[in-house]
A and B are shown apart, each in its own frame.
Chain A
Amino acid sequence: MKHKTFIPTKRNILLLAALAVVIVVAVIWLYAGKSGEPFESTSLAMGSYVQQTVYGAKAQDAAAAAAKSVADLENLIAWQIGTSDIAKLNAQAGSEWIPINPKTAQLLNTCLDAAAKSGGAFDPTILPISSMWDFGGDNQRLPGKDEIEKFLPYVDYQNLRVSVQDNTASLKNHLDGLDLGAVGKGAACDEAIAAYKQAGVQGAIVAVGGSIGVYGTKPDRTPWKIAVRDPFAGENTSAAGIGTISMTSGCVSTSGTYEKYFVQDGVTYHHLLDPKTGYPVHNGLVSVTITHENGAITDILSTACFILGKEKGIELAKQYGAGAVFIDENKNVTVTDNLKDSFKLTGSGYTLQGAQG
């Protein structure tokens, strides 16, 4: 009798405990599933695809606010938009200082600083040359040597003057022109992150073309994982990356020869123009990826470091405390020391090289 009453009790406790565990796990699972449901939005801005994934209570409002911030920035800095600060500056080139939005002034100042630090490898006054090539545009073409020679002297960042005190700027010569194409997408990520911060979302990731910004945390608290596109995957933009970068905040941008290019008479011309020559740079690199807290700087440095080449590029990244991943045409991958712990190589056929940085 004693046995009969004792054992069923223990058995029942065991079963109850098992049931309780199942219920608790189920509730946590369902709850996690629900709260982990992000708000996703896609739009077109800055001449790119803008993709947002936002987690948290005010996700939808935050995504709308971020999209508006990006559109507002585009309306300030796109030279193609006639009413933008940059279009006005270009139209007034060679005459006088004109008033601009403080945001534009700050961004131009960042550009000037980077142009000086990179010795002109990044140059915001590239428009006279870049508009002739018109990569990805309706009139993309190989410009004549005489045309390049004629307009190259006007590509000089020292012709741009900016006052962040007065929020004014000027271009020295009539033929000077600003093109912020190498900084706009990164700067747009900064705008989106500022919007997420203001809305107070739990976490968010924004991609403006190939520039990515992350904010806050994911529901599972793991770092954001950013894949680095395989430069040899061709147009297949959905292909797996060559590796991943784990990050908890900040931005990442990539400049690659595969982004915009055309082939004429068997020669491939890609969009990464050397401001010194007016032609695409050929130094063995196929893509450069940069990480930094500031998105505009990641975008600028990815271009500048590509133009400079690996050795000088690593030096420049170091000056900014940025992380860098260089990929060359032989599938060698060079990662700066400050990214070693967060970068993971996954692409087959690629080999890691050592780097000082």
Chain B
Amino acid sequence: MNPLFTKKAPLLKRRDIFLCLALVAIAAVLFLVFAPRGTGVATVQLNGSTLATVDLSKVQSAYEIPVGGAYPLTVLVEPGAISVKEASCPDKICVRTGKISSPGQTIVCLPDKLIITIAGQNKQADGITG
């Protein structure tokens, strides 16, 4: 007979269930502590040096970061997103890239030597060609 269904001495007693729940709770705490984080931490780099590091998930209201270099530009930080609002570079590719918000995304202004990255791995692919 399967001991799970014996009435006299059940395999799982009440305190065992509590123990299981406790283990699940510990696992959940471990997960919260060690789970990969950093989604939404943007780094603004000019010519190799870091100008700003912003946790986009903690941005309450929008603000601008004026950036110098060969072609000065304005970075716009918003709750959950970052973009180049306006730029004095000739190609304006940085402005047209638009807002980025997910890990692995980048905005680059080659003329000004500006790189904005959002930390973390792109889940869809390891790299992008084109």
Contact = CB atoms under 8 A, between A and B. Distances in A.
A289 B115 contact: no
Interface stretch (A73-81, A83-91, A175-183, A203-211): A203-211
Contacts of B117: 42
Contact of B16 (A11, A53, A214): A11
Interface stretch (B56-64, B72-80, B120-128): B120-128
Q: Which of A22, A137, A237 has the most CB of B within 10 A?
A: A237
Nearest to B23: A22
A15 B130 contact: no
B77 to A, nearest CB: 17
Interface in B1-55: 3, 8-9, 11-12, 16, 19-20, 23, 27, 30, 34, 36, 45, 47-48
A26 B106 CA distance: 33
Contacts of B128: 207, 210, 212, 226-229, 241
Interface in A45-65: 47-49, 51, 53
Main secondary structure of the interface of A (DSSP, over half): mixed
Interface stretch (A153-161, A249-257, A313-321): A249-257
A144 interface: no
A237 B113 CA distance: 17
Given A136-B91, A238-B100, A205 B127 contact: yes
B68 interface: no
A26 B30 contact: yes
Interface string B107-118: 110100101010
Interface stretch (A2-10, A105-113, A193-201, A303-311): A2-10
Nearest to B19: A15
Interface string B89-108: 01101001110101001111
Contact of A240 (B3, B16, B124): B124
Contact of A26 (B9, B27, B98): B27
Contacts of B27: 22, 26
Contacts of B36: 33
Nearest to B108: A49
Nearest to A135: B91
Size class of the A contact interface (CB-based, 8 Å): 35 or more
Nearest to A43: B48
A3 B9 CA distance: 8
B124 A228 contact: no
B96 A234 contact: yes
B129 A211 contact: yes
Size class of the B contact interface (CB-based, 8 Å): 35 or more
A146 interface: no
A235 B98 contact: yes
Interface string A250-270: 001110101100000000000
Contacts of B8: 3
Contact of B126 (A18, A211, A218): A218
Contacts of A207: 127-129
Given A205-B127, A226-B126, A7 B115 contact: no
Interface of A: 3-4, 7, 10-11, 14-15, 18-19, 22, 26, 29-30, 33, 38, 42-44, 47-49, 51, 53, 136-138, 140, 205, 207, 210-212, 214, 218, 224-229, 231, 234-238, 240-241, 244-245, 252-254, 256, 258-259, 287, 289
23 contacts: A7-B9, A10-B11, A15-B16, A18-B23, A49-B110, A49-B115, A51-B127, A53-B126, A136-B110, A138-B90, A207-B127, A211-B129, A224-B127, A225-B125, A226-B126, A236-B96, A238-B102, A238-B105, A238-B107, A240-B124, A241-B128, A254-B129, A259-B130
Given A210-B128, A289-B130, 17 more contacts: A15-B16, A22-B27, A33-B34, A49-B110, A51-B127, A53-B126, A136-B91, A207-B128, A224-B126, A225-B124, A227-B129, A228-B129, A229-B128, A237-B108, A241-B124, A245-B129, A287-B130
